[in-house]
Amino acid sequence: MPDPILELDGVGKHFGGVVVLQDVSFHVARGARHALIGPNGAGKTTLFNVISGVFPPDEGTVKLNGRDLAGVPSRRRIAMGMARSFQNIRLMPHLSVVENVMLGQHARQGLLGQLKPVGLLPQARERRAALDLLDAFGLDAYPGQVVANLPYGIRKKIEVVRALMAEPELLLLDEPAAGLNPTETAALRDFLMEVSARGVTLLVVEHDMPFVNSLCEHVTVMNFGRLIYDGTAAGVREDEAVLEAYLGHRRKGATNAA
């Protein structure tokens, strides 16, 4: 791959005696919309935690823009260009939309966890940047509204916009379509296409396969902590190891012991 933004090489992780990730190696191309899929318990969230620096791998390396991230804490990774939005929305429900988006700037500075809402809310420049971002993504109807009062699909978009305040080159999205109805899912897909068109690389963990197929051109599949497929989204539908992982299909001629 000519210009990877993210490189994983031989990543392993165990919790006590349980091996959760084993020899995971793949690259994410700069500018890609790349999905990471696999059955429940395959290790996807654990891998996201290793990539974003929640905990270190036991083996292997993770590189961002060619730089080894060993020992680099999460907040520093954000400053280096990596942002993450979580499966369960982590917006502050009692704050307004624009205030929540402004907090994304503090995430870049490593302050999100230390902020006391309202009292330390920052300045006009950051408010302007947040408003511009909301405007750019068609969310200009919402800045003053309290997040708790908004539909789930809109809150999902706001969470992504907040992550964009950190001006990431690489955005990690953990099950962005979970809990959305089909209309909201389609709107989120269009929204993420727009984010991608602005040059942000997307790495997306997702169970919703129609959503994956309509958003991502590259798919990596994990099963039992190992990588079983890494290639085009079109090819994944034909791959026997993937079919077997999801559906329990047996290859022709395979024995029960195989």
Ligand X SMILES: Nc1ncnc2c1ncn2[C@@H]1O[C@H](COP(=O)(O)OP(=O)(O)OP(=O)(O)O)[C@@H](O)[C@H]1O
- Using CB under 6 A, pick the residue from 5, 6, 24, 42 that binds ligand X: 42
Question: In the bound complex, what is the minimum distance in angstroms from residue 43's beta carbon to ligand X?
Answer: 4
Among 8, 11, 34, 43, binds ligand X (CB under 6 A): 43
Residue from 1, 10, 25, 41 in contact with ligand X (CB under 6 A): 41
Question: Smallest gap, in angstroms, from Cβ of residue 113 to ligand X?
Answer: 20
**Is residue 38 within the footprint of ligand X (CB under 6 A)?**
yes
Residue 203 touching ligand X (CB under 6 A): no
Q: Does 220 participate in binding ligand X (rule CB under 6 A)? A: no
Q: Does 152 bind ligand X (CB under 6 A)?
A: no
Q: Are 159 and 91 in contact (CB under 8 A)?
A: yes
What is the distance between the alpha carbons of residues 83 and 160, in angstroms, rounded to a whole number? Answer: 9
- The C-alpha atoms of residue 143 and residue 100 are separated, in whole angstroms, by 9
Residue with smaller CB distance to ligand X, 95 or 222: 222
Smallest separation, CB 42 to ligand X (Å): 4
Q: Considering the rule CB under 6 A, would residue 40 count as an interface residue with ligand X? A: yes
Closest CA to 11 of 66, 40, 39, 49: 49
- Residue pair 52/69 in contact by the 8 Å Cβ criterion: no
Q: Which stretch binds ligand X (CB under 6 A): 22-30, 36-44, 73-81, 159-167?
A: 36-44
Kindly list the residues in this chain that would bind ligand X in the complex (CB under 6 A): 15, 18, 20, 38, 40-46
